[in-house]
Amino acid sequence: QMQLVESGGGLVQAGGSLRLSCAASGRTFSNYLMGWFRQAPGKEREFVSTISRWSGGITNYAESVKGRFIISRDNAKNTMYLQMNSLKPEDTATYYCAASPLGFGTSLSDYTYWGQGTQVTVSS
């Protein structure tokens, strides 16, 4: 089993920044593709960003966050991050980190392990 714990969520004003963290344990972190997903009230969980297995790996972003969010990972710390800049009210959601044994994937079904989520609220 792999355990994932998100942190860093909170309330920020539009235009502000926030950094989320995802701490992993129980499995070899570097063996997993990692991703961030989010879910707003009344909406389905959606892809935000992914990063391949190695530190400084290949990244992928949803069009809605491209140019504003930066995903990264530190395999020595078993931790993944999401730096969120120029936040918009539309970014308000519960953010989840997830781990996948695949080399690439942006669908929920591609991911095996999930965290409990951290709330991000952006005020206008």
pLDDT given for residue 37 in this prediction: 98
pLDDT given for residue 84 in this prediction: 98
pLDDT given for residue 42 in this prediction: 95
**Mean pLDDT per 10-residue section of the chain, whose length is 124 residues:** 97 98 95 97 97 93 98 96 98 98 96 98 96
94: part of which helix (H) or strand (E)? strand 93-100
pLDDT given for residue 56 in this prediction: 86
pLDDT given for residue 74 in this prediction: 96
Task: Tell me which residue has tokens 């069009």.
Answer: 63
Task: Tell me which residue has tokens 């297995």.
Answer: 53
Burial 15-37 (b: 16+ CB within 10 A, else e): eeebebbbbbeebebeebbbbbb
pLDDT given for residue 58 in this prediction: 95
